[in-house]
Chain A
Amino acid sequence: MTATPLPEHPDFLWRTPEPRSSYDVVIVGAGGHGLATAYYLARNHGITNVAVLEKGWLAGGNMARNTTIIRSNYLWDESAAIYEHALGLWERLPEELDYDFLFSQRGVLNLAHTLQDVREGVRRVGANRLNGVDAQWLEPDEVAKVCPILNVSPRTRYPVLGATFQPRAGIAKHDHVAWALARRADEMGVDLIQGCEVTGFLKDGDRVVGVETSRGRILAGRVGLAAAGHSSVLAERAGVRLPVQSHPLQALVSELHEPVHPTVVMSNHVHVYVSQAHKGELVMGAGVDAYNGYGQRGSFHVIERQMAAAVELFPVFARAHVLRTWGGIVDVTPDASPIIGTTPVENLYVNCGWGTGGFKATPAAGWTFAHTIATGEPHPLNAPFALERFTTGALIDEHGAAAVAH
């Protein structure tokens, strides 16, 4: 019997180079943020002698584990500015990267279930509009028009009293975003090196001059950390303490369904957020587990509560089956805002503390972090997000607009 020959393997989107002995810039972490940083280092600053080191596989950490929601309806000026910059970049990236990563601006509803939720939501809509972010306040009947499967009956335990709505928000296919960025960064000369764990830092006094890795020593003019949940573990090896705590955050998908859910729905109060992926899965998340953890799995009781909330809000989901659950590790700061900037160690830069909200910020995190690494100075958009704010007290408290309990 003659076996049919297998088809040729498709071309890979990026090379798999051996690490060189030195680079101008080494980025630690080949997730969305690390890849976007490398892309903008090359595109905006002409710095292409760059390596992105990844201990696992490209975009296999939180990038592969998030719920893909993109929005910019944050409360404070500093946050609105950086997340809205990200949304503007998202709107042009598919064309710029020549890769259809299924960015779908289907809008996001943030539901209000209490009088205080209503007041917070109306306030946030006002703040958003002053900052040029599209935002509307919707009454329950208007909410039902945007999302007809949502139960807006007043006879539920936590009735929907209204919602904020950002029409330009949406979802994108997370894996494709990473691959699109990786392909372009690679084309411009960036080395993407997988299976290469950073185990230590080479220092000359208070200056970092390279990294120790599982694949040998690599010298670097500048080093940028973009390691999400492991940022504090990594920074500690460089002698830098970060005010972050790592927590498991889990998500799940249902089996495939016909298109039933036209937008993204988030609820802080009963705590679930749901969208429907292009393929048909319902993608759902809830808050972080209360305790610190690195185990990349979450607690069952969190799923139980989020499902109870989902079924009350969407009675049509009552017979949906869970197909798969997973967890990521998020690094949470005391004010639920990220840290992007310099560190007490010269030439060492950090991008961390995005907590549960890093995916939506991917292009702006890369844009501003690349600027900071290239120039040694913060970009106006990330200057407020410096590590120093925990000493000066100029916190950017986004616990409300972060939309996820953490």
Chain B
Amino acid sequence: MLLISCPWCGPRDETEYHYGGQAHVPYPGNPADLTDEEWAAYVFYRDNPKGPFAERWMHGTGCRRWFNVLRDTVSYEVLAAYRLDEPRPELPGRADVHQPAEPAGGNR
């Protein structure tokens, strides 16, 4: 079982949380102009990396707030937990890590 640190409540068992998929997927800034392909990309396509992955979790049985977790999808190590208004943390000494092209930030 994962041990995840809620930014407000501290470390709690995985079973207290709800998983919310990939983090940092901003709602399109110009929704009226999107093609079908661009809508498909926004609605259905998410990253699926083997390694560090920024994802959303919600502390369902605690403060009920959403936050982000940086987690390794192979080792399941929780590398960082941070609030929605904070950028994705850098991982020092992990030059091999695939960083997404999109800048961290937009969480709406």
User: Contact between A299 and B14 (Cβ–Cβ < 8 Å)?
Assistant: yes
Query: Nearest Cβ distance between residue A59 and chain B, in whole angstroms?
Result: 22
With A299-B1, A301-B15: A243-B45 Cβ-Cβ less than 8 Å: yes
Closest partner residue, chain A, to B18 (CB atom):
A290
The interface bits of chain B over 59-79 (1 if a CB of A lies within 8 angstroms of the residue's CB, else 0) are 000000000000101111000
Q: How far is the CA of A243 from the CA of B19 in the complex (A)?
A: 18
User: Contact between B1 and A300 (Cβ–Cβ < 8 Å)?
Assistant: yes
Stretch in B47-55, B80-88, B89-97, B99-107 with 4+ CB within 8 Å of A: B47-55
Q: Interface residue count for B (Cβ, 8 Å)? A: 24
Contacts of B40 in A (CB 8 A): 243, 390-391
With A243-B44, A300-B1, A301-B1: A392-B36 Cβ-Cβ less than 8 Å: yes
Contacts of B74 in A (CB 8 A): 293-295
The interface bits of chain A over 262-300 (1 if a CB of B lies within 8 angstroms of the residue's CB, else 0) are 000000000000000000000000000011111100011
Label chain B's interface by main secondary structure: mixed
A215 at the interface (CB under 8 A from B): no
Contacts of B43 in A (CB 8 A): 334, 390
Closest partner residue, chain A, to B45 (CB atom):
A243
Closest partner residue, chain B, to A233 (CB atom):
B50
A20 at the interface (CB under 8 A from B): no
User: Contact between A245 and B46 (Cβ–Cβ < 8 Å)?
Assistant: yes
User: Contact between B48 and A232 (Cβ–Cβ < 8 Å)?
Assistant: yes
Contacts of B2 in A (CB 8 A): 291, 299
Q: How far is the CA of A293 from the CA of B51 in the complex (A)?
A: 9
Q: How far is the CA of A293 from the CA of B1 in the complex (A)?
A: 13
With A291-B19, A292-B55, A299-B14: A244-B48 Cβ-Cβ less than 8 Å: yes
Query: Nearest Cβ distance between residue A390 and chain B, in whole angstroms?
Result: 5
User: Contact between B53 and A292 (Cβ–Cβ < 8 Å)?
Assistant: yes
User: Contact between A334 and B44 (Cβ–Cβ < 8 Å)?
Assistant: yes
A246 at the interface (CB under 8 A from B): yes
Contacts of A391 in B (CB 8 A): 36-37, 39-40
A241 at the interface (CB under 8 A from B): yes
User: Contact between B46 and A294 (Cβ–Cβ < 8 Å)?
Assistant: no
Residue of A291, A293, A295, A300 most packed against chain B (CB within 10 A): A291
With A291-B71, A300-B1: A233-B76 Cβ-Cβ less than 8 Å: no
Contacts of B75 in A (CB 8 A): 295
Contacts of A292 in B (CB 8 A): 48, 53, 55, 73
User: Contact between A294 and B44 (Cβ–Cβ < 8 Å)?
Assistant: no
Q: How far is the CA of A300 from the CA of B13 in the complex (A)?
A: 12
User: Contact between B55 and A291 (Cβ–Cβ < 8 Å)?
Assistant: yes
Specify which of A232, A245, A246, A293 is in contact with B76 (CB 8 Å cutoff). A293
Contacts of A242 in B (CB 8 A): 45, 48
Q: How far is the CA of A301 from the CA of B73 in the complex (A)?
A: 18
Q: How far is the CA of A243 from the CA of B21 in the complex (A)?
A: 13
CB<8 Å pairs between A and B, sample of 13: A230-B50, A232-B48, A241-B45, A243-B46, A244-B48, A245-B21, A290-B18, A291-B2, A293-B74, A294-B50, A294-B74, A390-B44, A390-B45
B residues at A contact (CB < 8 Å): 1-2, 14-15, 18-19, 21, 36-37, 39-40, 43-46, 48, 50, 53, 55, 71, 73-76
Closest 9 CB pairs of A and B: A290-B19, A391-B40, A232-B48, A243-B44, A390-B44, A334-B44, A390-B40, A243-B45, A291-B19
Q: Besides A233-B48, A391-B40, 8 other CB < 8 A contacts?
A: A233-B50, A291-B55, A292-B48, A301-B14, A390-B40, A390-B44, A390-B45, A392-B36
